[in-house]
Amino acid sequence: MSILIKNSSELKNYVIKIIVISIVLNFVWEMVQMPLYENFSFSAKTTVFCLLASLGDAIMILIIYFIGSALFKNYSWFARINLRTIVYIAIAGLVLSVSGELIALNLNLWNYSSLMPKLFFTSIGLSPILQMIILPILTFMIAGVLIRSVNRM
């Protein structure tokens, strides 16, 4: 099966939907989880930091999207989420989040507060791992609903 896409504007439409949904969902998650990090308070500086983090999260979700497009040989693979795509998204999110957290912790980009639950037998925070498993699934589900509703018109 070849990669199915009608035109480049269709791909652009998919990418824009994924980016916007991803930034909104991740910004909310980033703001809510701030008490789990050291030296963060609800301020303008924290809001900007969370917005920038949300952009980074959106890039990771785009990586999941494009690898999924190659893997499933279809740019609209997320339009019909099934168990196979959920497993793929969860594994990809887990790999990206663990890698990202390890890099960030080693570079001292942030530290966890005592409130942060840890991933079993590691020093990696559980919240950012769950974030990159749950929110990509939600992002693709919402984008899929939007794509299907437009296609019905």
- 3-class SS of residue 125: strand
Tens-binned pLDDT, residue by residue, of the chain (153 aa): 445 556 788 899 999 999 999 999 999 999 999 999 998 888 899 899 999 999 999 999 999 999 999 999 999 999 989 999 999 999 999 999 999 999 999 999 999 999 999 988 889 999 999 999 999 999 999 999 998 887 666
Q: How high is the pLDDT of residue 126? A: 97
Burial of 11 (0-12, 13-18, 19+ CB in 10 A): middle
85 vs 74: CA distance, rounded Å: 12
pTM above 0.75, yes or no: yes
Q: Which residue reads 């999207």 in tokens?
A: 65
DSSP class of 137? H
